[in-house]
Amino acid sequence: MKQFRPAVVQLRGVTKTYRMGKDNVVNALQGVDLDIHEGEFVAIMGPSGSGKSTLMNVVGCLDVSDTGEYILAGENVGKLSDDQLAAIRNKHVGFVFQTFNLLPRLNAIENVELPLVYGGDRKGRRERAIGALEAVGLGDRVHHRPAELSGGQQQRVAIARALLNDPAMILADEPTGNLDSRSSAEILAIFQRLNDEGKTVIMVTHEPDVAEHCKRIVRMRDGIVARDELVPRQRNAEHELREMIAAAASHVLQMPAARAASGAE
């Protein structure tokens, strides 16, 4: 018997319209219905103008819909004040952005602590931040500032920050967009591990190969959910990362032999 999993995200008839200038009206969302349940790993895809960014903003409580209903982790967020919305966002949503959004003057610990600073939570703040950094493999980089970290390491700091309040879901907006292939695999492997541990992950991406690391793909077009499908064969980022490392090591080992052969000619 399939075990029931509660919905983290429930959207019913959600619309959002923007007025661009005097006469141009953009219907960004046109009656979106969507359920995302606890423990899912969902990619949201769609071309430019499809509504995926607006959907992310509504789901992440960065914006509110014009009509319809949005239930986040059991709470109706559609009619909350800005302050209430910020509190819900800080409690239930962990954000990971393409550009990392780290403060350059703060080290890794201090950047990770920010959600607790904003939320006024002082209990074990430093210990929790260090624990989150260790969980993403940065236990030896806790005092480094963003400029002293690679792009992949900066994104891991951002993931640690997103995890600090134990949110109902991680919402990642193009999290591999500024990363090379190996760093992208490292980040996707972290998301897959978090999902395997039960964390709900929603990732906005325009890259099909990135979406194939998720378990479900929601495709937006013209402000509606055009397709909603399970990934038939989820790609394993950890396996791909090991293959990349093995290939790089093999290449390094072959270089002396190649040089020797070149010198002998």
* Segment 97-153, tens digit of pLDDT: 999 999 999 999 999 998 887 766 677 889 999 999 999 999 999 999 999 999 999
Q: Is residue 248 part of a domain?
A: no
Quote the CA–CA distance of 148 and 129 in Å, as a whole number. 18
Q: Kindly indicate the confidence band of residue 2, based on its pLDDT and cuts at 50, 70 and 90.
A: very low
Which CATH number do you get for residue 200?
Answer: 3.40.50.300
Structure tokens at 117: 């600073």
pLDDT > 90 in the chain, percent: 73
Range of the domain at 219: 39-50+80-234
Return the pLDDT at 24: 86
Element (H, E) at 138: none
Q: Kindly indicate the confidence band of residue 265, based on its pLDDT and cuts at 50, 70 and 90.
A: low
Q: Kindly indicate the confidence band of residue 256, based on its pLDDT and cuts at 50, 70 and 90.
A: low
Q: Is residue 26 part of a domain?
A: no
Return the pLDDT at 120: 66
Tell the burial category of 200 from Cβ atoms under 10 Å away from its Cβ (0-12, 13-18, 19+): buried
Return the pLDDT at 92: 92
Q: What is the mean pLDDT of residues 241-256?
A: 80
Q: Is residue 127 part of a domain?
A: yes
pLDDT score of 22 more than 90: no
3-state DSSP call for residue 167? coil
Q: Is residue 67 part of a domain?
A: no
Q: Is residue 183 part of a domain?
A: yes
pLDDT score of 20 more than 60: yes
Q: Is residue 260 part of a domain?
A: no
pLDDT score of 165 more than 90: no
* Segment 179-212, tens digit of pLDDT: 999 999 999 999 999 999 999 999 999 999 999 9
Domain count, the chain: 1
Question: With a threshold of 0.85, does the pTM exceed it?
Answer: yes
Q: Is residue 199 part of a domain?
A: yes
Tell the burial category of 98 from Cβ atoms under 10 Å away from its Cβ (0-12, 13-18, 19+): middle
Q: Is residue 11 part of a domain?
A: no
